[in-house]
Amino acid sequence: ADSVLAGLKAAGDAQWVLVHDAARPCLHQDDLARLLALSETSRTGGILAAPVRDTMKRAEPGKNAIAHTVDRNGLW
């Protein structure tokens, strides 16, 4: 968050700023082009995301057992 804030401050009066999560470096060029095209029609910008595909499990604090499988609907 601090590095994003520093980048936004350094951007000055730029109309648009792209922020990339370096933890996920494999950005596809087609995805970026689609994001930029959609962002041109928005006053607030956009975010590139993909639905969660992996199975998600939740454990209760302090217990070493799975409590339940998380419903992935709506998770990105």
Tens of pLDDT, residue by residue over 5-36, are 999 999 999 988 888 888 888 889 999 999 99
User: Which one is predicted more confidently, 76 or 22?
Assistant: 76
pLDDT beyond 90 at 67: yes
Ordered by start, the domain boundaries in the chain are: 2-70
Q: What's the pTM?
A: 0.58
Work out the average pLDDT over 41-51. 86
User: How far is Cα 50 from Cα 41, in angstroms, rounded to an integer?
Assistant: 20
User: How far is Cα 67 from Cα 56, in angstroms, rounded to an integer?
Assistant: 11
User: How far is Cα 10 from Cα 4, in angstroms, rounded to an integer?
Assistant: 10
Mean pLDDT of all residues in the chain?
Answer: 90
| Residue 74 tokens, joined | 């709506």
Helices (H) and strands (E) counted in the chain, each on its own, are: 2, 2
Please tell me the predicted confidence (pLDDT) of residue 66: 95
